[in-house]
């Protein structure tokens, strides 16, 4: 079995235009010590055939296509398939800085006691793609590290996990709609060894197909109350009722856009928008002064 330092994992279903943008960049930038694992939920939009072609060409390394019970089920399968020392979740409609991700990977390889590493995040709405928010959970991390909070929340879009740490922190809960919200509370409540990178390894993109826009608000709020009790979470600006997107851990609502300025998804040039996003995250990460902070 080939030994990899990093496994990039993707779970997807019927989002071929986004998937092609994300995978083409990942494939171009993948290093020999990294593998790509894709779980497809039996897509009907051509994704399954596209992915099978990439597997046949050796551009991705593991691939299955079958119905999932829910989103957490799909991601759990991907994590269990991963063979790399470090697991990095790649969400098909978000944007990633692979240079920053590799800095995070190398830090974890050099510090084997770190279970999970998170970073700052950028966030934008596809209908107003030049409006980009800089998001951070650093204040909450510092309070948690100092023993002032038993748990805190963060998005999984910028999270790296040590594969052997899954035996302690577990997989996603299939009973929570906002699975990364619960997972972050659980990881921090268990006092896992979390490190924080003050740079940006991801940019979260919100659009009408975002998972959280399809969910029942009452169910989310009910689950939020349970999560607060389970993990002694007092809440803050990222409590579940304000969690604007499954993948945004900052808890900041995006700047409101006037109705006259809102574009329908069919009117959006997603290739141009994503090119702008990748240029933006590359430029912001050229800034100096980013550092790694540890729990101890």
Residue 161 CB neighbour total at 10 angstroms: 25
Q: Let me know whether 75 and 13 are in one domain.
A: yes
Q: Let me know whether 136 and 269 are in one domain.
A: yes
In this prediction, residue 210 carries a pLDDT of 59
Contact 179, 188 (CB under 8 A): no
Plot region of 265 (φ>0 → left; ψ -120 to 50 → alpha; else → beta): alpha
Domain boundary residue among 68, 92, 116?
Answer: 92
Q: Let me know whether 86 and 100 are in one domain.
A: no
Contact 155, 121 (CB under 8 A): yes
Q: Which two tokens stand for residue 271?
A: 């290739």
In this prediction, residue 225 carries a pLDDT of 81
> Region 32-36: what's the mean pLDDT?
98
Q: Let me know whether 58 and 102 are in one domain.
A: no
Domain boundary residue among 71, 92, 113?
Answer: 92
Q: Let me know whether 70 and 148 are in one domain.
A: no
> Region 114-133: what's the mean pLDDT?
94
Q: Let me know whether 199 and 212 are in one domain.
A: yes
Q: Let me know whether 169 and 274 are in one domain.
A: yes
How close are the terminal C-alpha atoms of the chain, in Å? 35
Picking from 133, 44, 34, the residue whose alpha carbon sits closest to that of residue 86 is 34
Q: Let me know whether 140 and 72 are in one domain.
A: no
Comparing 111 with 259, the larger pLDDT belongs to 111
- The boundaries of the domain holding residue 149 are 94-296
Q: What is the pLDDT of residues 247-258, one digit of tens each?
A: 433 333 333 334
Q: Let me know whether 193 and 269 are in one domain.
A: yes
Q: What is the DSSP string of 73-89?
A: HHHHHHHHH--SSEEEE
Q: Let me know whether 75 and 169 are in one domain.
A: no
Q: Let me know whether 147 and 288 are in one domain.
A: yes
pLDDT classification of 189: cutoffs 50, 70, 90: very high
Domain boundary residue among 58, 92, 126?
Answer: 92
Plot region of 223 (φ>0 → left; ψ -120 to 50 → alpha; else → beta): alpha
Name the domain count of the chain: 2
To the nearest whole number, what is the mean pLDDT of the chain? 87
CATH number at residue 15: 3.90.550.10
Q: Let me know whether 59 and 143 are in one domain.
A: no
């Amino acid at each position: 079995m080939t030994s990899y330092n990093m496994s990039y994992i993707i779970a997807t279903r019927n989002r071929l235009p986004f998937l092609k943008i994300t995978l083409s960049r990942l494939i171009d930038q993948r290093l020999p010590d990294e593998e790509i694992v894709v779980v497809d939920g039996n897509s009907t939009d051509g994704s399954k055939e596209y992915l099978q072609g990439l597997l046949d060409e050796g551009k991705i390394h593991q691939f299955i296509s079958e119905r999932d019970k829910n989103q957490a089920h799909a991601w759990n399968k991907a994590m269990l398939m991963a063979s790399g020392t470090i697991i990095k979740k790649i969400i098909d409609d978000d944007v990633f800085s692979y240079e920053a991700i590799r800095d995070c990977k190398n830090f974890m390889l050099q510090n084997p006691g770190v279970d999970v590493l998170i970073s700052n995040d950028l966030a934008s709405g596809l209908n107003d793609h030049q409006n980009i928010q800089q998001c951070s959970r650093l204040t909450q991390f510092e309070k948690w590290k100092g023993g002032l909070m038993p748990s805190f929340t963060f998005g999984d879009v910028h999270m790296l996990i040590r594969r052997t740490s899954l035996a302690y922190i577990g997989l996603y809960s299939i009973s929570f709609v906002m699975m990364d919200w619960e997972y972050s509370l659980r990881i921090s409540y268990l006092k896992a060894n979390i490190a924080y990178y003050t740079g940006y390894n991801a940019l979260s993109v919100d659009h009408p197909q975002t998972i959280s826009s399809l969910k029942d608000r009452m169910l989310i709020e009910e689950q939020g109350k349970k999560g607060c009790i389970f993990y002694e979470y007092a809440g803050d600006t990222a409590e579940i009722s304000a969690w604007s997107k499954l993948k945004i851990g900052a808890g900041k609502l995006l700047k409101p856009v006037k109705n006259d300025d809102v574009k329908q998804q069919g009117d959006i040039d997603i290739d141009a928008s994503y090119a702008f996003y990748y240029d933006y995250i590359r430029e912001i990460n050229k800034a100096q002064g980013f550092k790694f902070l540890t729990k101890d």
